[in-house]
Structure 1
Amino acid sequence: MQQKTALIVSAHAADFVWRAGGAVALYASRGWNVHILCLSFGERGESAKLWKDPTITLDAVKQVRRAEAEKAAAILGASVEFLDCGDYPLRVSDEILMGIADRYRSLRPEFVLTHSFRDPYNFDHPFANHLALEARVIAQAHGHRPDVPVIGAPPVFLFEPHQPEQCEWKPEMFLDISSVWEKKYEAFKTMDAQEHLWEYYTRVGLQRGAQAARNSGQKIKYAEAYQCVYPRVADAF
């Protein structure tokens, strides 16, 4: 039986930890191949603690953030890849876009997780969303690399932005991550450059867990919330 795959498209090296680390750990624990694609290291805009050292260089910051993300991915049970496209601003060439489409073709994910459509506080995030969705469409096109089979229609879910109300994002699915919470929190602790977010995202996990319990009648302590991009298809409610 072929191993199932999930793809996470993360704008910066830490985004996948805060926003989708539970999903990564949960599906990895089920034997899935979970692959994280980091478009940048978050070296300029999301590494303020490191930039307090006046002697540090851009390359040194990248190395620190890469090491943090690799360690976090290992804890969660995933593979991770870095495209080093820069941040603040994040920009890509058509070559990079086609490369992301090629990841879809080679990985053939069952589902994709990425950022919200809007984020007035961080334009790298919606751009990562755009890249993930455009690459998906390209990977479905029969005329794109016709020597490689096209993909189907993997559902795409948008993980929670830092300030959801301002990003026009709303939770449409709760994922119970209670069984893997300790792994997610352990991954938090690798992100020393953003230690101030550990407690914040712990509160988010507890809040979404309470909402998941209320909406299901189940005992759920920690959860992640996701917004659906495409309609879900089923043969029953």
Structure 2
Amino acid sequence: MTGTPPPGPAPRTVLIVSAHAADFVWRAGGAAALYAARGDAVHVRCLSFGERGESQGLWKQPGMDIGTVKEVRREEAARAAAALGESLDIDFYDAGDYPLVVTEQLQERLVQDMRALQPDVILTHAARDPYNLDHQLTHEFVLRCRMIAQAAGYPSAHPPIGAPQVLLFEPHQPEQCGFVPQLLLDITPVAETKLKAMQIMGAQGHLVDYYTDLARRRGVQYVRNGGDRGAVHAEAYQRVFPVTAKELV
């Protein structure tokens, strides 16, 4: 006589809000690939293409113009998202960069997206980044939209969201940004997937080696902090809100 197998974990919804078209690949590509492989819903929202400030390789080409840069960046990011997971959903808000400017229309769009998607967790930028103010503006913008999306009285065709945890992915120079790793995520099973996605981002190809090495270093720290000794690659995240628990350990 066989019993009914225990139910698996409930599907989760992950929302990644990226200031520029490549940020989510470098900093949260492992998490995106890992959850997509599990069958969870992964949604990426790129506020801009990074067409002005994060497309150095393209602007070095003779005769380049802003429209062409945007199209190349869109195509790269879309291909990278597909490489991370065929079911991964990506959308581009085209809000401009350097500087990114938050408007009422931009706010309304993300709030309604949050309401429609009902994310279990949100991944975005750190609170401080003196090298890139678009990143820290995105951090505040995401928290503001999360707050609005929770409001029962805010007009929407979708219900208010709950209280999704917000995890901050690692900035390029964490020491200058006050970034403190509080969660090390083992991405070893999808490390090759993330590498392939990063290699698609040709406009910033110089970052591939940096983020590959960073994943190895965080993998060492994952093991040293009690993680599975077979782990080789990891991503670091910082929590915004407390974690609830019934036990200390």
TM-score range, shorter chain: over 0.9
Q: Is residue 153 of structure 1 aligned with residue 189 of structure 2?
A: no
* In 2: Cα distance, 1:142 partner to 1:195 partner: 44
Q: How far did residue 200 of structure 1 move?
A: 0.4
One of 17, 31, 35 as aligned partner of 1:23: 31
One of 168, 181, 187 as aligned partner of 2:178: 168
Aligned pairs (5 A) from 1:18-97: 18-77=26-85, 78-97=88-107
**What's the counterpart of residue 234 of structure 2?**
223
| Deviation sequence 1:143-186 (CA, Å, 0-9, x none) | 10165311100000000000000001110100000000000000
Q: How far did residue 235 of structure 1 move?
A: 2.1
SS of the residue 1:158 aligns to: strand
In the TM superposition, structure 1's runs of 4+ consecutive aligned residues that sit over 4 Å from their partners are none
Amino acid at match of 1:137: M
Amino acid at match of 2:193: K
Amino acid at match of 1:206: R
* In 1: Cα distance, 2:119 partner to 2:227 partner: 31
Indicate if the aligned counterparts of 2:112 and 2:156 stay in contact, CA closer than 8 A.
no
**What's the counterpart of residue 127 of structure 1?**
137
* In 1: Cα distance, 2:10 partner to 2:239 partner: 26
Distance 1:195 1:6, change over 3 A: same
**What's the counterpart of residue 14 of structure 1?**
22
Amino acid at match of 2:243: R
Distance 1:140 1:13, change over 3 A: same
Amino acid at match of 2:136: P
| Deviation sequence 1:18-75 (CA, Å, 0-9, x none) | 0000000000011011000000000000101100113011000000000000000001
Structure 1 stretch displaced more, 216-225 or 112-121 = 216-225
**What's the counterpart of residue 5 of structure 2?**
none
Amino acid at match of 1:232: V
**What's the counterpart of residue 200 of structure 1?**
210
Amino acid at match of 2:223: A
Rg: which structure is higher?
2
Q: How far did residue 10 of structure 1 move?
A: 0.1
Aligned length: 237
* In 2: Cα distance, 1:192 partner to 1:146 partner: 39
CA RMSD of aligned residues (A): 1.3
Distance 1:159 1:217, change over 3 A: closer
Q: How far did residue 130 of structure 1 move?
A: 1.0
Question: Which runs of no fewer than 5 residues in structure 2 stay unpaired?
Answer: 1-8
Question: Which runs of no fewer than 5 residues in structure 1 stay unpaired?
Answer: none
**What's the counterpart of residue 100 of structure 1?**
110
* In 1: Cα distance, 2:207 partner to 2:233 partner: 17
* In 2: Cα distance, 1:81 partner to 1:162 partner: 23
TM-score normalised over the length of structure 1: 0.97
SS of the residue 1:42 aligns to: coil
* In 1: Cα distance, 2:128 partner to 2:53 partner: 18
TM-score normalised over the length of structure 2: 0.93
Identity of paired residues, percent?
A: 53
One of 178, 195, 211 as aligned partner of 1:185: 195
Q: How far did residue 131 of structure 1 move?
A: 1.2
Q: How far did residue 2 of structure 1 move?
A: 7.5
SS of the residue 2:171 aligns to: coil
* In 2: Cα distance, 1:5 partner to 1:218 partner: 25
Q: How far did residue 136 of structure 1 move?
A: 0.3
